[in-house]
Amino acid sequence: MDRYKIIAIIILTSSIVFSFLAAPLFLRMRQVEPIFPGNGLSQARALSDYFAKLKNTRGDTEVYLFEGKNPGGTAFILGGTHPNEPAGFLAAVCLIENIAVTSGRVIIIPRGNNSGFTTNDPQEANPQRFVIPTPAGERWFRYGSRGTSQVDQWPDPEVYLHYPSGQKLSGLETRNLNRAYPGRPNGSFTERVAYAIIEMMKQEHVDIGIDLHEASLEYPVINAIVAHPAAFDLAAESVMYLQMDGLNYNLEPSPEKFRGLSHREWGDQIDVAAILMESANPAQGRYHDRLTPDMVLTGKDRFYYQASKHKLLEVEYPEEGIPLKQRVGRHLIGLKILFQVWNEHSPDKPIEIENIPDYQEMQEKGIGAFLNEAHP
């Protein structure tokens, strides 16, 4: 046997061994972190109930409905559009596990791109999980990918053409849920998920939709509320109240010519008051040190602190970092104020929510104080 055959056998054998050893880690990302809804939950459904083609795929995901005794408007809150933006997902989880609705309805999808929770971003060395302590013990959560898993949608084209506008973007964006709206029933995996979310909003007659995100510290649209023109006055007044409370929020208009975004397509396609919220996530940018589960929680990074001293960031970055509890709290107080302003201007369609976790209390006690114990 010549040496080339020996080398080929060694490489093949090594590949098989490494694949065997890696398989448990790969499959670990498909273990779903449990969510324990509070007593205010009215009904749990699946996204495939609104678009059957998602059934038995990783595009299907939970839809939690909270309905008040009094009539009113319908709000939709979306977390997990990008599973490497944990504040949006955890804010949705905190709502599911705590709130009660007295007037109107609230619909929450915590894992917008469910497929993205089953994988990491390649070559980023991100942790698979992080843990949050609670009074009843630890709760674990996955740190997923910005886009749909390539197991579910592959290959990426060189250029992504948005439907129906024809807008051209990098091929990587073909797996980005927040570039896929309004989607199409026979499109790519990601487009079908976007289509299902739009279908749910239509069928449930949603009045206001809010998409919860995070952004890297170098990104100019950060710590912001981004609003469709139909929701701009609502967002502007809410930002004013938040700033009066000492919380710095920026107000951004939804760009008319950037297609595929939730805050643009929801408003254009189905006449929803569409809003997107961005908090500041140190784990997303390019300056950070090794990303560990602890850094996901603390948001503390030595290189970002140096970058802030050289004025390379779009937000203030203190030496103690920007912890996850602060970012989750910002989403929750932002939602609270948005609904307060909504009720002032839409008394015929009130959306009244009790038990939204308090921002200051979360900073004092941590996220875990607002996470439920496993049901018996």
- Running along the chain, 376 residues long, what does each successive block of 10 average in pLDDT? 74 74 79 96 98 98 98 98 98 98 98 97 91 95 97 97 97 98 98 98 98 96 96 98 95 97 97 97 92 96 96 95 98 98 98 98 98 78
User: Which CATH number goes with the domain that contains 349?
Assistant: 3.40.630
Looking at the structure, tell me whether residues 20 and 163 fall in a common domain: no
* CB 222 within 8 Å of CB 280: yes
**Residues 46, 51, 54, 56: what is their CA dihedral angle, to the nearest 10 degrees?**
60
Domain assignment of residue 8, yes or no: yes
Looking at the structure, tell me whether residues 241 and 308 fall in a common domain: yes
Q: How far is CA 108 from CA 48, 62, 203, 301, in A?
A: 15, 8, 15, 32
Domain assignment of residue 273, yes or no: yes
Q: How far is CA 46 from CA 35, 64, 108, 212, 288, in A?
A: 14, 8, 11, 20, 37
Q: Round to whole Å and give the CA distance between 297 and 129.
A: 11
Looking at the structure, tell me whether residues 76 and 26 fall in a common domain: no
Look at residues 237, 154, 194, 158 and name the one whose alpha carbon lies nearest to residue 61.
Answer: 194
pLDDT confidence of residue 20: 67
Q: Give me 333's structure tokens.
A: 């107080």
Cis amide leading into 293 (omega within 30): no
pLDDT confidence of residue 87: 98
User: Would strands 250-253 and 224-227 be described as parallel, antiparallel, or unpaired?
Assistant: parallel
Looking at the structure, tell me whether residues 7 and 41 fall in a common domain: no
Looking at the structure, tell me whether residues 8 and 63 fall in a common domain: no
* Whole-prediction pTM: 0.95
Domain assignment of residue 375, yes or no: no
Q: How far is CA 174 from CA 171, 187, 270, 277, 288, in A?
A: 6, 11, 23, 22, 26
Looking at the structure, tell me whether residues 317 and 345 fall in a common domain: yes
Looking at the structure, tell me whether residues 131 and 182 fall in a common domain: yes
Q: Round to whole Å and give the CA distance between 46 and 62.
A: 5
* CB 65 within 8 Å of CB 107: yes
**Which alpha helices (DSSP H) does 214-261 contain, by range?**
232-244
DSSP state of 152: T
Looking at the structure, tell me whether residues 8 and 107 fall in a common domain: no
State residue 293 phi and psi, 5-degree precision: -55, -35
Looking at the structure, tell me whether residues 156 and 246 fall in a common domain: yes
Q: Give me 149's structure tokens.
A: 């898993």
Determine the residue type at 197. Answer: I
Looking at the structure, tell me whether residues 111 and 138 fall in a common domain: yes
Looking at the structure, tell me whether residues 248 and 346 fall in a common domain: yes
Local structure of 104: helix, strand or coil: strand
Q: How far is CA 374 from CA 78, 141, 304, in A?
A: 23, 14, 37
Look at residues 245, 252, 257, 242 and name the one whose alpha carbon lies nearest to residue 275.
Answer: 252
- Which residue range forms the structural domain that includes residue 86? 37-370
Domain assignment of residue 376, yes or no: no
β-bridge mates for residue 134, sequence order:
137
Looking at the structure, tell me whether residues 214 and 261 fall in a common domain: yes
* CB 71 within 8 Å of CB 344: no
Q: Please, how many CA atoms are within 13 Å of residue 185, restricted to the half-sphere of its CB?
A: 6
Domain tally for the chain? 2
pLDDT confidence of residue 18: 67
HEC string of 127-148? Answer: CCEEEEEECCEEEEEECCCCCC
Look at residues 327, 342, 99 and name the one whose alpha carbon lies nearest to residue 227.
Answer: 342
